Structure 1
Amino acid sequence: MSLAPRAVLVHRTTEYEELVARHGTHGQAAFFLSSRGRDIEEVAERHRATRHALARVTAAIPLTWRQSRVERRDLDRFLFAPEDVVVVVGQDGLVANVAKYLAGQPVVGIDTDPGRNPGVLVRHRPADAEELLAAGTGEVEELTMVEAVADDTQRLVALNEIYLGAAGHQTARYRLGLDGDGGVAEAQASSGVLVGTGTGATGWIGSVRQERGGDGPRPPGPSERRLLWFVREAWPSPATGTSLVAGELTADSRLTLTVESERLVAFGDGVESDAVELTWGQRVTVGVCGERLRLVR
């Protein structure tokens, strides 16, 4: 007999909760913010909206379903099951945070602060949860993700983009090559390499592309199996070049980076605390990920 679905509510600690935890009481937190020209009521109101959204979504879970709840900082220790329906209650970035831990489970994004969040990934309101879950989550859009695989089998997956470079964003030294270039690789010194998806094209990748006047390949759509890559601030010298600084990757192509520094890192979606560490001589390949995020429309 198959198990009933399990609704997994993913959320994060609110700014208000973090302030009270740090300062001990509401009054102390209010004093701290007022000394910096801010009103705690603004923060408290967002906290109340988030708690209300969580309560409403919880109440919308069908009675025959199992349910669980996980905070963002515990995602790397939570075991998702194949029959799970993941309900992200919060901001767009929270969907990106959970994406790399999934294996095809549908994701429902619930926006707790419409108008403040872009709503690219959290597309629904708390009031929509009952209808969405009763319908078995409905249609899904499969979003492309990016992966980096090191020669020691370390693997990193991200929904928006992967950064490869020095941990502190200082100068990184490496060799960069592309499949199909006859094995030719260019020695470079830069502040890192970004490889991003269509979902990430409105974020960090989009910012870099805008700084360069929007030249180069058009941004992919979120479901398109194509990536954009950029080298940040490549430095020309007698030993390093700048001929490979931007491009695109199709589903069958890969970008290869060989480390020529004591320590480089690769991290996804801005989460530097969950980085893959790379050392001198290691090789990492980056390309379209085989898994995709199944986001409920």
Structure 2
Amino acid sequence: MKKVDQGKIVIVRNKTQLEELREQFNTIAQASFFIQQQRNNVQAKSGFLSKKQKKVWSENRARKKEDIGSWEMDDFKREQDNYDATLETVKNRAARFMKIKVLETAYLPSYLFSPSDIVIVVGQDGLVANTAKYARNIPIIAINPEPHRFDGILLPFTLQNFEMALQKAVSGKHQYKEVTMAEALLDDGQSLLAFNDLYIGVNSHISAKYQITYGGSTENQSSSGMIVSTGAGATGWMSSVFNMVKGVNQLFGESPQVTVPSLPWDTNRLLFTVREPFASKTAQAGIVSGFIEEGEELVIESMMPQNGVIFSDGIQSDYLRFNSGSIARIGLASQKAQLVV
């Protein structure tokens, strides 16, 4: 098959659990020894578990040893073998169409994609979300390396069917689903996109302090930070906030029917909520949740002397500093992710 001269296929990969263990302990043998010793210590400590609890714990470990996600070394190795085989097959097949480049997740923030590139993601759902922020308006083919292990909500393809999608993407005849993204824009010109959600707050458990302006109202707040969610992310981190509200309502006899609004992935609106707002003489809790529509913005001024941050999609290592005096405008991003379907 004739190769296309322009552009390339960028294959984005993630570290497996086994690779992360190897980095932490230098060798797999040392990692295996440490994990086993920890489990032996749990069994040996007389005051930590009762005799009955120890028996149940041991029986559960033995029964689940062969299960997917068992946190046994054998399962880590199976995951590694499957991932390596999938990645190698994807590389070999993709090379028949265009030049390829394999990109580690850590290099995504600094990598410059070409508009003529095609992206193939091999990994979990979170890798798709993280990649989409940087591969702006570029087709993304997301492959689930182990459908029996990963839910794959954002991973419609497998080794069995991705090649047809790639062929269509190369010829420009692919179909795709547009996904609306959020954007945080600082007054100094820095910006950050989010596929699922933005977090605005402090990089620790202490209270975030800021001034918020929404819908013509402004107030000072002290809270556990804010979450701004896209349609794609509404069933993720944002759903945990609604679960909390539902549980509290149920405990005190109120209606537990509190659910996250169903938002299409391409909807031109964002949903925000303030986590645990604290009302005091200097902080209000009137602006707690709402929608940011197209053409609207949520304006936040930091009142945090240090450790204020804005990060997206749970990636805390890629963040914007948001300390006292910084102003952020939160709204819909002009770019949308293109997930090939």
User: Identity over aligned residues, as a percent?
Assistant: 32
CA distances 1:234-290 after superposition (whole Å, capped 9, x unpaired)? 001111111100111111111111112213110001111111012212211101111
Gaps of 5+ in 2: 40-70, 247-256
Q: Which residue of 1 aligns with 2:318?
A: 274
Residue pair 1:62, 1:133 contacting (<8 A) in 2 also: no
* Structure with greater strand share of residues: 1
Secondary structure in 2 matching 1:126 = coil
- The one of 211, 222, 235 equivalent to 2:265 is 222
Amino acid at match of 2:177: E
For structure 1, the residue ranges without an aligned partner over 5 or more in a row are: none
| Contact 2:213–2:300 (CA under 8 A) maintained in structure 1 | yes
- Equivalent position of 2:232 in the other structure: 199
Distance in 2, Cα, partners of 1:50 & 1:68: 17
**C-alpha distance in structure 1 between counterparts of 2:175 and 2:289, whole Å:** 35
Q: Mean alpha-carbon deviation: is it higher for 32-41 or for 283-292?
A: 32-41
How many residues are aligned here? 293
User: How far apart are 1:155 and its partner, in Å?
Assistant: 0.5
Aligned partner letter, 2:100: Q
Deviates more, 1:271-280 or 1:34-43: 34-43
AA partner of residue 12 (structure 1):
N
Residue 202 of structure 2 corresponds to residue 158 of structure 1: no
Q: Which residue of 1 aligns with 2:144?
A: 111
The answer to whether the Cα contact below 8 Å between 1:7 and 1:65 also exists between their aligned partners in 2 is yes
CA distance in 1, matches of 2:88, 2:236: 30
Cα displacement string for residues 128-153 of structure 1 (whole angstroms, at most 9, x for unaligned residues): 22221122262100001000001111
Question: CA, structure 1 residues 188+26, in 2 after alignment: closer, same or farther (shift >3 Å)?
Answer: closer
Partner of residue 140 from structure 1, selected from 176, 179, 196: 176
Cα offset, 1:216, TM superposition:
7.9
Is residue 235 from structure 1 mapped to residue 278 from structure 2 by the alignment?
yes
CA contact (8 A) 1:169 1:192 kept: no
Identify which of 98, 101, 121 aligns with 1:88. 121
Runs of 4+ in 1 over 6 A off after TM superposition: none
Q: Which moves more between the two structures, 150-159 or 109-118?
A: 109-118
Three-state SS of the structure 2 residue aligned to 1:50 is helix
Q: What one-letter code is carried by the residue in structure 2 that aligns with 1:28?
A: Q
Computing the radius of gyration from Cα coordinates, the structure with the larger value is: 2
- Secondary structure of 1:224's partner? coil
CA distance in 2: counterparts of 1:277 and 1:135, whole angstroms: 41
**In 2 relative to 1, CA 151–126 (structure 1 residues): closer, same or farther, beyond 3 Å?**
same
1:130 matches 2:166:
no
